[in-house]
Amino acid sequence: MSLFSVPQNWFVTQGEGNCTSLRALYYPPVKRETVKEDQIRCGEHSDYGSITLLFQSHEGGLQVMNRKGEFISAPSIPGTVLVNIADLMQRWTSDVFVSAVHRVLLPPEGDLRTRQSLTFFVQPDNDAKISCCDGSNKYPPVRSWDYLQSRFNDTYGRT
């Protein structure tokens, strides 16, 4: 039995020839006296694909928004992988799984050490049609590549 009335491996088959990517993220150390008030390391955003796997250093700073709209710390636990739901999974599941809005803050005290993470962004096939698995029209159908390009344009501007 499947939660979404799709075959058990259906989500896997939607990402067999895609633009999934692996990124090494490096936040350099900074001196406390150079930090501006309310400065952050990475502004709030959600990821674009289906899921994101995050391997992070122990420096912390990651916060996720809860359902009340409040940011809460997501501590780094040694030996674990953080799994974030991304935008297209939210659309597929009609909000059963909600895309994680998150940001990275600076540590509250002392000089700021290096923060590193390795991030695996899982993206459906470029031509995958993303429509609600429950048959609803909560989100209009969209092609995976078109959604990705739209989000890139929103984030980085048109080129």
Q: How far is CA 122 from CA 51, 90, 98, 101, 133, in A?
A: 5, 13, 15, 16, 18
Inside any domain, residue 39: yes
Spatial distance between the Cα atoms of 13 and 102, rounded to a whole number of angstroms: 28
What domain count does the chain have? 1
Inside any domain, residue 1: no
Q: State CA 74 to chain mean position distance.
A: 13
pLDDT > 70? residue 1: no
Q: What is the pLDDT of residue 53?
A: 95
pTM of the predicted protein model: 0.85
Q: pLDDT by residue (tens digit) across 23-47?
A: 998 888 877 777 777 778 888 999 9
Q: What is the pLDDT of residue 31?
A: 78
Inside any domain, residue 4: no
CATH number of the domain where residue 148 is located: 2.60.120.330
Return the structure tokens found at 69: 């709209």
Inside any domain, residue 2: no
Inside any domain, residue 88: yes
Q: What is the pLDDT of residue 141?
A: 96
Q: What is the pLDDT of residue 111?
A: 56
Q: What is the pLDDT of residue 159?
A: 54
Percentage, residues of the chain above pLDDT 90: 50
Confidence of residue 120 (pLDDT cuts 50, 70, 90): very high
Q: What is the pLDDT of residue 108?
A: 65
Range of the domain at 148: 13-152
SS (H, E, C) 46-107: CCCCCEEEEEECCCCCEEEECCCCCEEECCCCCCCCEEEECHHHHHHCCCCCCCCCEEEECC
